[in-house]
Structure 1
Amino acid sequence: MLKYIVMLCCLILLSSLYMMEWWMVQLLLMLLFFVFFISIGLNLEESLLGYGLGLDNLSYGLVLLSIWICSLMLMASSMIYYNNIYKELFVVVLLLMLLLLLLTFSSMDMVKFYLFFEGSLIPTVLMIFGWGYQPERLEAGMYLLFYTLLASLPLLVVFLKIFKENNSLIFLLIGNIGTDFIMYLSLMLAFLVSMPMFMVHLWLPKAHVEAPVAGSMILAGVLLKLGGYGLLRVMKMIMMKGLEFNYLFMSVSLVGGFMVSLVCLRQVDLKSMIAYSSVAHMSIVLGGLFTISMWGIQGSYTLMVAHGLCSSGLFYLANVLYERSGSRSMMINKGVMNFMPSMALCWFLLSSSNMAAPPSLNLMGEICLLNSLVAWSVVSMFILMLLSFFSASYSLYLYSFVQHGKMYSGLYSCGSGFFRDYLVIFLHWLPLNLMVLKGDYWILWV
Structure 2
Amino acid sequence: MMKFFMMMMFMMFMCLKKNMFWMVQFMFMFMMVMFMNMTIMIENFCNLSYMLGCDMISYGLILLSIWITFLMIMASESLKKISFYDNFFLFNIILLMIMLYLTFSMMNLFLFYFFFESSLIPTLMLIIGWGYQPERIQAGMYLLFYTLFASLPLLMGIFFLYKEMNYMMMYMLKFYDYNLLLLYLCLILAFLVKMPMYFVHLWLPKAHVEAPISGSMILAAIMLKLGGYGLLRIMIVLQKINLSMSFIWIVISLVGGFYISLKCFCQIDMKSLIAYSSVAHMSMVIGGIMTMNYWGYMGSYILMIGHGLCSSGMFCLSNINYERLNSRSLFLNKGLMNFMPSMSLWWFLLMSSNMAAPPSLNLMGEISLINSLISWSWISMIMLMGISFFSAGYSLYLYFYTQHGKYNLGIYSFYSGTSREYLMLMLHWMPLNILILKIDYSMIWF
TM band (smaller chain) = over 0.9
1:356 matched to 2:356? The reply is: yes
The amino acid across from 2:441 in the alignment is Y
For 2:106 and 2:26, locate their aligned partners in 1 and report how far apart those are by CA, in whole Å.
Answer: 26
Question: What's the counterpart of residue 65 of structure 1?
Answer: 64
Which one-letter code corresponds to 2:290 in the other structure?
A: F
**How far, CA to CA, are the matches of 2:408 and 2:349 in structure 1?**
24
2:39 alignment partner in structure 1: 40
Runs of 4+ off more than 4 Å: 41-44
**Alignment CA distance shift 1:426-1:44 (3 Å):** farther
The answer to whether structure 1 residue 9 and structure 2 residue 9 are counterparts is yes
Q: Counterparts of 2:207 and 2:287 in 1: how far apart (Å)?
A: 24
The corresponding residue for 1:375 is 375
Letter in 2 for 1:312: S
Kept in 2, the 8 Å contact 1:341–1:416? The answer is no
Verify the 8 A CA contact 1:250 1:286 in the aligned structure 2. yes
Q: Given the alignment of the two structures, is residue 419 of structure 1 paired with residue 419 of structure 2, yes or no?
A: yes
- Equivalent residue, structure 2, for 1:146: 145
1:225 maps to which residue? 225
CA distance in 1, matches of 2:417, 2:432: 22
Q: Does 1:21 align with 2:20?
A: yes
2:353 is paired with a residue whose SS is: helix
Amino acid at match of 1:235: M
Q: Is structure 2 residue 274 aligned with structure 1 residue 274?
A: yes
CA distance in 1 between partners of 2:421 and 2:68 (Å)? 15
Aligned to 1:322: 322
- Letter paired with 2:379: V
Distance in 1 (alpha carbons) for counterparts of 2:159 and 2:314: 40
Whether contact under 8 Å (1:298, 1:445) holds in the other structure is no
Percent identity of equivalent pairs: 55
Alignment-mate amino acid for residue 136 of structure 2: R
Amino acid at match of 2:95: L
Deviations along 1:68-99, one digit per CA (max 9) or x if unpaired, are 00000000000000011100000000000001
- Residue of structure 1 equivalent to 2:386: 386
Report the Cα distance in structure 2 between the residues aligned to 1:295 and 1:44, rounded to whole angstroms: 17
2:167 — aligned with what? 168
2:50 is aligned with 1:54? no
- Tell me, yes or no, if the aligned pair for 1:339 and 1:416 is still in contact at 8 Å: yes
Write out per-residue CA displacement over residues 338-370 of structure 1, whole angstroms, 9 at most, x where no aligned residue: 000000000000000000000001000000000
Instruction: Call closer, same or farther: CA 1:332–1:161 in 2, change over 3 Å.
Output: same
Distance 1:409 1:329, change over 3 A: same
Quick check: 1:432 aligned with 2:419?
Answer: no
1:100-115 matches, within 5 Å, as 100-115=99-114
Does the CA contact (< 8 Å) of 1:58 and 1:445 recur in 2? no
Aligned residues of 1:298 and 1:443 also touching (Cα < 8 A): yes
What is the deviation of 1:209? 0.1
Q: Is it true that 1:396 corresponds to 2:392 in the alignment?
A: no
* C-alpha displacement of 1:442: 1.4
Maintained 8 Å contact 1:342/1:416: no
Residue 124 of structure 2: aligned partner:
125
Paired residue type of 2:167:
S
CA deviation map 1:161-219 (0-9, x unaligned): 10011011011102233232111011000000000000000000000000000000000
* Structure 2 Cα separation of the partners of residues 42 and 417 of structure 1: 42
Whole-Å Cα distance in 1 between the matches of residues 382 and 214 of structure 2? 37
1:44 Cα shift?
Answer: 6.6
Shift of 1:409: 1.1
What CA distance in whole angstroms lies between the structure 2 residues aligned with 1:188 and 1:212?
A: 30
Structure 1 range deviating more: 257-266 or 33-42: 33-42
TM-score by length of 1: 0.98
1:214-258: per-residue Cα shift (whole Å, max 9, x none)?
A: 000000010100000000000111010000101001000000000
1:48 counterpart SS class: strand
Give the structure-2-normalised TM-score: 0.98
* Structure-1 separation of matches of 2:44 and 2:180: 32
- Taking the aligned partners of 1:49 and 1:354, their CA distance within structure 2 comes to 36
3-state DSSP of counterpart to 2:411 = coil
* 2:203 alignment partner in structure 1: 203
On the 8 A contact 1:42/1:441 being kept in 2, the answer is no
Q: CA deviation at 1:323?
A: 0.5
CA distance in 2, matches of 1:43, 1:105: 16
Are the counterparts in 1 of residues 360 and 432 from structure 2 also a CA contact under 8 Å? yes
Q: Which residue of 2 aligns with 1:288?
A: 288
Which residue is equivalent to 1:190? 190
> Structure 2: how far apart are the matches of 1:378 and 1:33?
42
Q: Which runs of structure 2 are paired with 1:302-341 in the superposition (5 Å)?
A: 302-341=302-341
Q: Provide structure 1 residue ranges, at least 5 long, that are not aligned to the other structure.
A: none
Say which SS state the counterpart of residue 342 (structure 1) adopts.
Answer: helix
Q: Deviations over 1:89-125 (max 9, x none)?
A: 0000000000100000000011000000000010000
RMSD across aligned C-alpha pairs, in angstroms?
Answer: 1.0
Cα distance in 1 for partners of 2:272, 2:343 equals 21
Tell me the distance in 2 between the aligned counterparts of 1:84 and 1:129: 17
Question: Could you report, residue by residue, the CA deviation over 1:130-172 in whole angstroms, capped at 9, with x for unpaired residues?
Answer: 0000000000000000000010110011101100110110111
Alignment of 1:213-252 (within 5 A): 213-252=213-252
